[in-house]
Structure 1
Amino acid sequence: MQNVVAINAAARQSIDAAQAASDEMLLEGIADGNRTAMHILYARHNVRVYRFILRIVRDASVAEDLVSQVFLDVWRTAAQFEGRSQVSTWLLSIARFKALTSLRQRRFEDIDQDDVREIPDGADTPEASLDRATTNEILRACVAKLSPAHREIINLVYYHEKSVEEVGAIIGIPQSTVKTRMFYARKQLADLLRGAGVDSLAA
């Protein structure tokens, strides 16, 4: 009995240690075949990866399938991660490649990346929730009117909070190009928001 308790305690300590580990440390564990590390990395990032893919493919079932493929790739190729970017950036790079490949296979020409509907804050009043939902709807509609390249930039910078350097790594373009696209994307989006009567967001 004591042996079982000791084993369970050791297992809990191992799980706790993995949960406290950085993404980089988890990848090292995954490269060594540690399934617990894989589960924890998945739990940390699967929602963000799913939302990112969904904005590209606009099909929930396809997005779910691609998320599985992304993390299967992580399991197989964790040892290849060189630490040149954040793990989250690396994951989105894999996700973007798979999403675009899926679109090409389905022969979609327009890459639409409408934002996923935000879940209202439970602390909001009904009026505040309604106002925010309306604002989010207008924002999504305006973002949808941007070119595919500009939508992608807005998606990564604002929804995924990626830096210029990280965006360049994910898309595979120079940082100067990221900055140029960002400038024109923000300008166009601001004009669209003003036209929709949402001056606060346009600013």
Structure 2
Amino acid sequence: MPNVIAINAAARQSIITAQATSDEMLLERIANGDRTAMHNLYCRHNVRVYRFILRIVRDVTVAEDLVSQVFLDVWRTARQFEGRSQVSTWLLSISRFKALTALRQRRHEDIDQEDVRQIADEADTPETSLDRRDTSKILRACVAKLSPAHREIITLVYYHEKSVEEAGAIIGIPQSTVKTRMFYARKQLADLLRCAGVNSLAA
């Protein structure tokens, strides 16, 4: 029994240590060939990377394959990270490049919006789950109808909580352009939501 307790305590300590390690420290260790650090970084960011890529390529199988490619690139190029942005921003930059390259390689780029595969939201309270699911579904459908440039901005700022500066760094455009795209994207999204019978502020 004492051995079991000791093992559990060691496991908990290992988890706490991994969570306390910054992304930058993990990259430093990855650059030195630390596979445990690579595993920790993957566990920390793979869902975010997957969702970001899926919103661009709109194909679950392709998105899953690209996630593997992104983290393989991280393993190979960790030494190239210069710390001028957050690691999460760097990861999304790599993800965006991979996703857009995959899109260009596909002949059928004009994907039917209705075929977009959605990621299930976390469950809400019983009292609000139905309304929230319906609203979230409508919101995602409206976001999917935006132009690629506007959809990308909305995804980065609202779904990935990136600042204007970070979004500009990921896409490779000036902050002024990010702000302009954000303005028109929000305006178009509000119009789409109104047409769908949803109050944009509530959404």
TM-score w.r.t. the length of structure 1 is: 0.86
Which residue of structure 1 aligns with residue 118 of structure 2?
Answer: 116
How far residue 60 of structure 1 moved from its aligned partner, in angstroms, is: 1.0
Give unmatched runs, 5+ long, in structure 2: 1-8
RMSD: 2.6
Q: In 2, Cα distance between the equivalents of 1:134 and 1:10?
A: 44
CA distance in 2, matches of 1:200, 1:97: 31
- Give 1:192 shift: 1.4
Partner in structure 1 of residue 34 of structure 2: 34
Whole-angstrom distance in 1 between the partners of 2:159 and 2:12: 35
Partner of 1:69: 69
Deviation at 1:115, TM superposition (A): 8.1
Q: Could you tell me which residue of structure 1 aligns to residue 96 of structure 2?
A: 96
Q: Which residue of 2 aligns with 1:3?
A: none
Q: Percent identity?
A: 82
Which residue type is aligned with residue 89 of structure 1? T
User: Gaps (5+ residues) in structure 1?
Assistant: 1-8
Matches within 5 A, 1:1-203: 17-110=17-110, 116-121=118-123, 124-125=125-126, 127-201=127-201
Pick which of 102-111 and 21-30 moved more.
102-111
| Corresponding residue number in structure 1 for 2:3 | none
What one-letter code is carried by the residue in structure 1 that aligns with 2:145? K
Contact persistence 1:49–1:67 (CA under 8 A): yes
Question: Which string of whole-angstrom CA distances, capped at 9 and with x for unpartnered residues, describes residues 55-74 of structure 1?
Answer: 11111111111101000000
Task: Tell me how far apart the structure 2 counterparts of residues 132 and 10 of structure 1 sit (CA, whole Å).
Answer: 40
Query: Could you tell me how far 1:26 is from its partner in structure 2?
Result: 0.3
After TM superposition, the structure 1 stretch with the greater mean CA deviation from structure 2, 42-51 or 53-62, is 53-62
Q: Distance in 1 between matches of 2:188 and 2:178?
A: 15
Which amino acid counterpart does residue 117 of structure 1 have in structure 2?
A: I
- SS class of match (1:83): coil
> C-alpha offsets along residues 73-100 of structure 1, whole Å, 9 cap, x if unaligned?
0000000000010000000000000011
Contact 2:190 2:200 in 1 (8 A): no
CA–CA distance in 2 between the matches of 1:78 and 1:43?
16
AA of the residue aligned to 2:152: E
Structure-2 change in CA distance of 1:110 and 1:176 (3 Å): farther
In structure 2, what residue type is equivalent to 1:73? D
**1:101 is matched by which residue type in structure 2?**
T
